Chains A and B, each alone.
Chain A
């Protein structure tokens, strides 16, 4: 049974691959430069934000997929997946925040921020679609 792959899905995967490569490159560069104490002042702020740009790009790619997908049922699955991810992310971050507020968890997030849990939520959202509608969509 062939998996459904619209041109919109193909563009989405290409965009994701490019953005992940950009993320790894910018993150590697930022970590190296900060460890070497090579940047200061306003440049440090710019460098710290640099790896966030490809992550924001992934949000853009997901939204473009919702806009460009021509199949209405597949688009519905993508929307359900995103809503599930948003709910999952907000729930995890809220619980985490309250545990930190009452000093039951240490401050900081160890690099696992909202975006990380949203992407994890996308995976669970696909599973939720599979269990409730019988298909995850394009996969």
Chain B
């Protein structure tokens, strides 16, 4: 699954640690999601979407679509 997390984070000038604290997850989690090594659960994907004020599909997309 591809995602725009790194871009969205950079637009807000947040470090991975900043985003991790806002999401209440580890920095390793943010890094793993950004690099595509880990796909978040649906509840975490919703939390990410709510944090950025976007829909889930505006952040995450199927690897075959992008």
A residues whose Cβ falls under 8 Å from a Cβ of B? 1-2, 4, 6, 70-74, 76-77, 133-135, 137
**18 A-B pairs in the complex with CB atoms less than 8 angstroms apart:** A2-B17, A2-B27, A4-B28, A71-B25, A72-B25, A72-B40, A73-B28, A73-B32, A73-B33, A73-B38, A73-B40, A74-B26, A74-B29, A76-B38, A77-B28, A133-B37, A133-B38, A134-B31
B44 engages A134 (CB within 8 Å): no
- Whether B27 lies near A4 (C-beta < 8 A) is yes
Which residues of B lie under 8 Å from residue A6 when comparing CB positions? 26
B residues with CB within 8 A of A:
17, 24-29, 31-33, 35, 37-38, 40-41, 44
Known: A2-B17, A73-B40, A137-B28. 12 other contacts (CB 8 A): A6-B26, A72-B40, A72-B44, A73-B25, A73-B38, A74-B28, A76-B38, A133-B37, A133-B38, A135-B28, A135-B31, A135-B32
Q: How far is the CB of A36 from chain B (nearest CB, A)?
A: 50
Chain A: CB-nearest residue to B29: A73
In angstroms, Cα B25 to Cα A71, docked, is 6
* Among B28, B29, B38, B44: residue with most chain A CB under 10 A: B28
Q: A100 to B5, alpha carbons, bound, how many Å?
A: 54
